[in-house]
Amino acid sequence: MRRIWFLCLLVALSPAGALAQQARGGVTLEHIAMTRTASGVAISPDGEETAYVLSVPRRPGAEEDGPARTELHVVSRGGDSRGYVTGKTNVASPQWFPDGRSLAFLSKREGDETRRVYRIPLRGGEATRIASLGSDVSGYSLSPDGRRIALLAPQPESEALKAQRKQGFTQKVYEEDWRPVELWLQTLGDEAPARRLEIEGSVQSVHWSPAGDRLALVVTPRQLTDDTLVFARVRIVGVDGRELGRVDNPGKLGQLAWSPDGAHLAIVSAADVNDPAEGRLTVVGRDGGAQRDLLPGLEGHVSHVGWRENGRVLFLSQEGVQTRLGEVGVDGGGERTLLAAEGPVWAGLSVARGSGDLALVGHTPEHPQEVFRLGAGESRPARLTDSNPWLREVRLARQEVVRYTARDGLELEGLLVHPLERRGNARVPLILVVHGGPESHFSNGWLSGYSQPAQYAATRGFATFFPNYRASTGRGVAFSKLDHGRPAMEEFDDLVDGVDHLVATGLVDRDKVGITGGSYGGYASAWGATWYSERFAASVMFVGISDQASLVTTGDIPQEQYLVHMRSWPWENPEMYRQASPIAHAQNSRTPTLILHGEADPRVPVMQSYMMYRYLQLAGQAPVRLVLYPGEGHGNMRAASRWDYALRLMQWMEHYLQGAGGEPPSYELDYQLSEAAAKD
């Protein structure tokens, strides 16, 4: 399931364990918990400066709990990075004003009742509020002359409804009491209030054309998750709200970008309504119309798009475990590669309007996401930021690309993180990490996070394997559809085939293999604990699926599941739904299983984990434990929840793959940071 993915960030062990690891020079869970990442790059018009968002995790147990804070930083072309809005703040969506002298950004600052748009000068001065509405601003776009701003915000609650809520009437009417995201235009510096444009539906994003006479919108029928995933469509409107054109794009939708002359709009789109993921690079005219695929037959997935001043389209293409930066003519001709699918994995792109220089976000096996710059005409990108200097002081385990053949002959690949140290040719325990989606994939970059702490596991003697099984992205549309109507069949056989390959190489101990993952990866973990129980000595299931029929009728994306996964409803094919449900095979389980879930998860409701737990407990064949996280959704966001998760994951794997096994380890944990980490 798309965006059924789960976040990978970071977390810690006990002081004694941390100090022991530090003595060996490897990565600790505390290191992972405090890892900073760069994102949201926006390069200035002249290419001299790049703004970016720096994610700064909170110290679990050492400061007020919550999600990572996000700061606004600017780095020069020479690598001088300066914090502009830092500390206890949450910044998003930096955009340059056309003159390059100041930046706009979204934030809810001290004293604000809602999230607003702020402006901060590049050469010194405080941030000032320039736009706000009656509810949180969710997105915005500056006009080409910088004098106007298009704003997106959910329709505010009425005063009558607010009064009712104060009286205790806080009921929710499921899938009916949604409020649309509205589009507003405001003239900056003008005392006149913003003007709302009448748009049918709910607006997800807005993109002002370079000519300043129109806006490209992404609109959904309703503000429901299913609609935002598979029913988002492109609409072109004038500044008066009048519709000028539309694009009836099929299925899922990705990035949009106007050409510099405003004559064309590039759209990353699904190939058809059953395509599991957007990834086709298409283009339409200024008034919309039929899409033209610029890269037909691409065995990859385009993730980001931009334009050169000469009208050529820039794109990032996820291809296998790497990404490629390329460009192509608006007619589909003259495609060429600017950065080959090797080196850093690219996860962000911004083009300087004047100079044509590029800012990129990239990560490698040696570091998380950082900011890079590629000057116009240059062939090698320069890394500009170093957000985690502690990495220079630790040893990293070796990471390699592994290719293997599935039992039916399909060629597959994955990523292997070796143990940091290995005694001769001794076989080692393996943690198999399964990605969500399944329309997602692992890339050959930084892989360690709170839910998959591979570099820490390496210090404990584990190998960690990240397979890109069939139905993953990065290998084209046909490959991503190979599991349609056949969940948990060949796609999960691919996981076991990958383990067998590593066993055959002499690295892995066949009897000491654990499986983990979140969302669809949690589904795979449940499958490994039941259908494939004889192959896994431990399973850690996170926000995972246990019963397919109840999931499609209780989760928030039934249409997405039907269109790009199941291709039938439970009443049409009940036996398929039953067979593909781990609870149907619970009586076969001999695998100790740890189940973890956010109680507020709308994507895979927590009942899925309740069911899995109870089925396994009643079967009584192996230890099972259920851990719930109040307030967390489809993946943990708060520092304390992430810390707890990583501790439990590694405790379970060490106990059953390296330790005595048998009865589960204590459910009580020592959350204390090492003294050094607490003071950092």
Q: What is the percentage of the chain residues whose pLDDT exceeds 90? A: 93
Q: Does residue 300 surpass a pLDDT of 70?
A: yes
Cβ(6)–Cβ(518) below 8 Å: yes
Nearest-5° angle of CA 452, CA 455, CA 459?
A: 120
The tokens for 267 are 């759209």
In this structure, the chain runs to a length of: 680
E strand map for 519-550: 538-542
Integer Cα distance of 417 and 144 in angstroms: 47
Residues sharing a CB contact under 8 Å with residue 632, sequence separation 6 or more, in sequence order: 598, 599, 600, 601, 638, 641
E strands present in 508-654? 508-518, 538-542, 593-598, 624-629
Mean pLDDT across 459-469: 98
- Evaluate if residue 23 carries a pLDDT over 50: no
In whole angstroms, give the CA distance from residue 622 to residue 529.
10
Confidence check: pLDDT of 438 > 80? yes
Going from N- to C-terminal start, the domains of the chain cover: 391-679
pLDDT at 676: 58
- Kindly state the tokens that stand for 292: 């033209």
Q: What is the number of other CB atoms lying within 10 angstroms of the CB of residue 100?
A: 18
| CA atoms of 575 and 559, how far apart (whole Å) | 20
Which pLDDT belongs to residue 20?
Answer: 36
Residue 356 has what DSSP assignment?
Answer: -
Query: Residue 653: its pLDDT value, please?
Result: 98
User: Where does the pLDDT of residue 21 fall: very low under 50, low under 70, confident under 90, or very high at 90 and above?
Assistant: very low
| Neighbour tally for 362: CB within 10 Å | 24
Q: Would you place residue 341 in the very low, low, confident or very high pLDDT band (cuts 50, 70, 90)?
A: very high
Mean pLDDT confidence for 172-189: 96
CA 349, CA 184: separation in Å to the nearest integer?
27
> Does 419 have pLDDT greater than 50?
yes
| pLDDT confidence of residue 25 | 85
Q: Above 50 in pLDDT, residue 417?
A: yes
Contacts of 82 (CB under 8 A, 6+ apart): 73, 74, 75
Assess whether the previous peptide bond of 438 is cis (omega < 30° from 0): yes
Helix-then-strand count for the chain, H and E: 14, 36
**DSSP code of residue 38:** E
Average pLDDT over residues 537-561: 97
**Tokens of residue 603, six digits:** 């994507």
pLDDT digits (tens, 9 = 90+) for 210-240: 999 999 999 999 999 999 999 999 999 999 9
- What's the pTM value of the predicted model, to 2 decimals? 0.94
Query: For residues 154 and 138, what is the distance between their CA atoms, to the nearest angstrom?
Result: 8
pLDDT score recorded for residue 677: 59
**pLDDT level of residue 484 (50, 70, 90 thresholds):** very high
Q: What is the mean pLDDT of residues 527-539?
A: 98
* Mean pLDDT along residues 116-131: 95
**Average pLDDT value for residue range 458-474:** 98
Whether the pLDDT of residue 12 is over 80: the answer is no
pLDDT band at 679 (very low <50, low <70, confident <90, very high): low
Question: 40-98, pLDDT tens digit by residue?
Answer: 999 999 999 999 999 999 999 889 999 999 999 999 999 999 999 999 999 999 999 99
pLDDT beyond 70 at 152: yes
Q: Could you tell me which CATH number the domain at 391-679 has? A: 3.40.50.1820
DSSP classification of residue 606: T
| Mean local confidence (pLDDT), 111-118 | 96
pLDDT tens, position by position, 573-628: 999 999 999 999 999 999 999 999 999 999 999 999 999 999 999 999 999 999 99
- Rounded to an integer, the average pLDDT of 20-35 is 78
534-549: average pLDDT: 98
The continuous run of DSSP H or E covering 282 comes out as strand 280-285
Residue 451 — very low, low, confident or very high, per pLDDT cuts 50/70/90? very high
Q: Is residue 196 a contact partner of residue 184, using CB atoms and an 8 Å limit?
A: yes
Q: Which one, of 127, 112, 144, lies nearest residue 208 by Cα?
A: 144
**Nearest CA to 97 among 218, 216, 189, 234?**
189
Which H or E run includes 81? strand 81-85
Residue whose pair of structure tokens reads 């000032």 in the numeric block: 128
- What phi and psi, each to the nearest 5 degrees, are found at residue 640? -65, -40
- Torsional sign, CA 128, 132, 137, 139: negative
Structure tokens at 449: 């996070």
Alpha-carbon gap, residue 325 to 372, rounded angstroms:
13
Nearest to 117 by CA among 155, 145, 85, 81: 85
Mean pLDDT for 355-376 is 97
- What are phi and psi for residue 334, nearest 5 degrees? 70, 30
Q: In terms of Cα–Cα distance, which of 16, 58, 8 is closest to 672?
A: 16
Q: Which of 83, 92, 94 is nearest to 43 (CA)?
A: 94
455 within 8 A of 398, measured Cβ to Cβ: no
Residue 103 forms beta bridges with which residues?
A: 96, 120
Stretch 152-176: mean pLDDT = 94
Q: CA-based diameter of the chain, in Å?
A: 75
Position 7 scores a pLDDT of 35
Lowest mean pLDDT, pick from 1-15, 566-580, 662-676: 1-15
DSSP class of 214: E
Question: What is the tens place of the pLDDT at every residue in 390-409?
Answer: 999 999 999 999 999 999 99
Closest CA to 475 of 305, 283, 322, 272: 322
Shortest CA distance to 150 belongs to which of 189, 109, 205? 205
Under DSSP, the state recorded for 201 is S
Residues 180, 202: Cα–Cα separation, whole Å: 5
**pLDDT for 546 beyond 80:** yes
Other residues' Cβ atoms within 10 Å of the Cβ of residue 326:
23
**What's the mean pLDDT when you consider all of the chain?**
94
pLDDT mean over 170-179: 94
3-state secondary structure of 341: coil
Neighbours of 90 (CB within 10 A): 17
Cβ-based neighbour number of residue 193 at 10 Å: 9
Count Cα atoms within 13 angstroms, Cβ side, for 679.
3
Give the pLDDT mean for 123-145.
96
User: Tokens 């192996």 correspond to what residue?
Assistant: 622
Query: Which pLDDT score, from 0 to 100, does residue 124 have?
Result: 85
